[in-house]
Amino acid sequence: MAQKLMLQGTMSNVGKTLLTAGLCRIFRQDGYVVMPFKAQNMSLNSCITEKGEEMSRAQVMQAEAAGVEPSSDMNPLLLKPTGLAGSQVILQGRVKENLSAKEFYRRKTEFRQSILESFRRIEEKADLVLIEGAGSPVELNLRKDDLVNMGFAEMVDAPVLLVGDIDPGGVFAQLIGTIELLTKEERSRVKGLIVNKFRGDRSLFSDGIRILEEKTGLPVVGVVPYMELNLPDEDSMSERLLAKGNAGGGFFDLAVIRYPRISNFSDFDVFDAWPDMRIRYVTAPEELGRPDLLILPGSKNTGADLAWLKNVGLDSAILAYAKTGPVLGICGGYQMLGRSVLDPEGVENSEGQNGAESSGGQNRAENSGLGLLPVRTILQKEKVQTRTEGRLNALSGMLRELGGCFVSGYEIHMGRTEADDGIIEGTEGGNASKADDGNTSKTEVSDARFLTENGNTYGTYLHGFFDAPEVIPALRKSLGRLRGISLPEQRAVDYQMFKEQEYDRLAGQLRQNLDMELIRRILSEADGG
């Protein structure tokens, strides 16, 4: 049976995801077959596996660090918020239903068996399973029937390391307070503390370590420095989304619209490997400026975010920019760039759609789009989940250098998009091959279906569009030409190799700052050694 270790945090955004990924890489380097696991994640950054399963991007990142194939069993329960009080529930890689928060908490024990089944399958393949908790284990009103923190640790009999974030202050209250609020049985599972995101001279925290150990009776396993790494973040708490201004690094300025329900902003992580390409996020017309490229990213609720664009005046700013600058929409952003988004079955909730226009029929909500692409989208209850690869058609507009590039990635969307000529964008336009289990595994889509072009405006359903090695060099040529400059040739960056180097850098930092011998001893004692 595999060894187990769980990392829980004092709150969200303390760094559990990155620490788990770093430990995955360390144990992989040490010869273990190691698998990540998170019973329940709430995130709008998701990915499609080779089997056509949807899972959190965070666990995909951890699987990459561990050197294993991502599987939805690593994240059997994924909640994708659809509004302020509800989520789409994805169980073992497939959409189950939409639930309000109240209904989910009333029914969450229904998911226990599926979560355990997924964990057992992961456990069978691994020497070590590194488990990540979620939020805080001492949200006392939510403790009953817990599936993801101490409740799950008890289910699988896992020892726990508790992580606190010193960066915002209050790390003593975080760690000592959390330990005090645990039950006696829960407290016995915690085997050590980690102080994360420390800035400055660590020797100045020696008294802090002593105080924590005296107050809790637990060893401090490590004080980990604040690390600037170019690896995917979880969504709502990401510091990436705070980048707004146009000052500082990056020759080319790429502006991304940050609507309230932005999803899959991991599409832009690849630009970390290109020093001359700078991503910033825009939430108001006055922030837009004059970027080299304007991007409308994915959205979990296209209608509501489209209404938000109109309410804040970004629709007019986008239309004005598109007269002379290139615009690219990805997934939900692609849908917004069309003539209309229809929701005849009420797939999306109505929150935030007070700017929507009705087309007349009962329950046939229609949002007028920005009208920059000659397409319309009809939302449907069945979600498209597939991986896709192929070459772009020849292009004639501002980004014509992208024509002929090989692209690969994945589609996650609830709608089909019809062009004015009747062609349907997305998987219905391609020839889907089936995996042995009957799930759609890869779609060979004829080249024109990857990218819709209309003047200065482009749209695609393909997440990961920029990741293929040919794409960003071609984009740089296009943007350089629009600037009236000829850029020197730059060798294409192998993004996968870039990430591998970052995982190794993360592991190196953790080896220096965690007591790995103590962690191994904790594992051995939990295993009866």
| 53 φ/ψ angles, rounded to the nearest 5 degrees | -95, 145
| Half-sphere exposure of residue 267: CA atoms within 13 angstroms, side-chain side | 32
- pTM to 2 decimal places: 0.83
Q: What is the mean pLDDT of the chain?
A: 87
Concatenate the DSSP letters of all residues of 359-402 into one string.
-SSTT-EEEE---SSSEEEEEEEEEEEEEEEEEPPP--STTGGG
- β-strand 190-198 against 298-299: which pairing, if any? unpaired
Q: Whole-angstrom Cα distance, residue 35 to residue 476?
A: 37
Q: Whole-angstrom Cα distance, residue 393 to residue 426?
A: 15
Separation in Å, CA 369 to CA 178, 212, 311: 48, 55, 13
pLDDT in tens, the chain (529 residues): 899 999 999 999 999 999 999 999 999 999 999 999 999 999 888 999 999 999 999 999 999 999 999 999 999 999 998 766 788 999 999 999 889 888 998 898 999 999 999 999 999 999 999 999 999 999 998 888 899 999 999 999 999 999 999 999 999 999 999 999 999 999 999 999 999 999 999 999 999 999 999 999 999 999 999 998 888 765 555 565 665 544 445 689 999 999 999 999 989 999 988 988 999 999 999 999 999 999 999 998 899 999 999 999 999 999 999 999 999 999 999 999 999 999 887 777 544 333 333 333 334 577 899 999 999 999 888 888 889 899 998 998 999 999 999 999 999 888 888 887 665 555 333 333 333 333 333 333 333 458 899 999 999 999 999 999 999 999 999 999 999 988 877 777 788 899 999 999 999 999 999 999 999 999 999 887 6
Q: What does the pLDDT read at residue 288?
A: 96
Q: What does the pLDDT read at residue 101?
A: 87
CB 291 within 8 A of CB 253: yes
Helices 57-66/16-29 angle, 10° precision: 20
Nearest to 442 by CA among 383, 384, 389: 389
Q: What does the pLDDT read at residue 143?
A: 86
Nearest to 46 by CA among 407, 301, 303, 410: 410
Place of tokens 């319309």: 376
Under the phi-then-psi rule, with left for phi > 0, alpha for psi from -120 to 50, and beta for the rest, what region is 514? Answer: beta
| 234 φ/ψ angles, rounded to the nearest 5 degrees | -70, 165
Q: Whole-angstrom Cα distance, residue 517 to residue 528?
A: 17
Longest dimension (CA), the chain: 72
Which residues are marked as active site?
331, 463
DSSP H/E element including 81: strand 77-81
Instruction: Record the tokens describing residue 299, joined without a space.
Output: 């959205």
Instruction: Record the tokens describing residue 278, joined without a space.
Output: 């700078």
- Number of Cβ atoms within 10 Å of the Cβ of 466: 23
Separation in Å, CA 320 to CA 92, 170, 290, 460, 481: 43, 46, 11, 21, 21
Give the neighbor-by-neighbor strand order of the sheet with 3-9: 34-37, 128-132, 3-9, 160-165, 190-198, 220-225
Q: What does the pLDDT read at residue 343?
A: 86
Nearest to 392 by CA among 341, 499, 465: 465
CB 112 within 8 A of CB 147: yes
CB-based burial, 13-38: b 16+ in 10 Å, e otherwise:
bbbbbbbbbbbbbbbbeeebebbbbb
Contacts of 35 (CB under 8 A, 6+ apart): 2, 63, 66, 68, 74, 122, 123, 125, 126, 128, 129, 130
Give the neighbor-by-neighbor strand order of the sheet with 327-330: 277-282, 252-257, 293-296, 327-330, 457-460, 452-454
Q: What does the pLDDT read at residue 79?
A: 94
- Ordered alpha helix ranges (H), 67-183: 101-107, 112-125, 150-156, 171-181
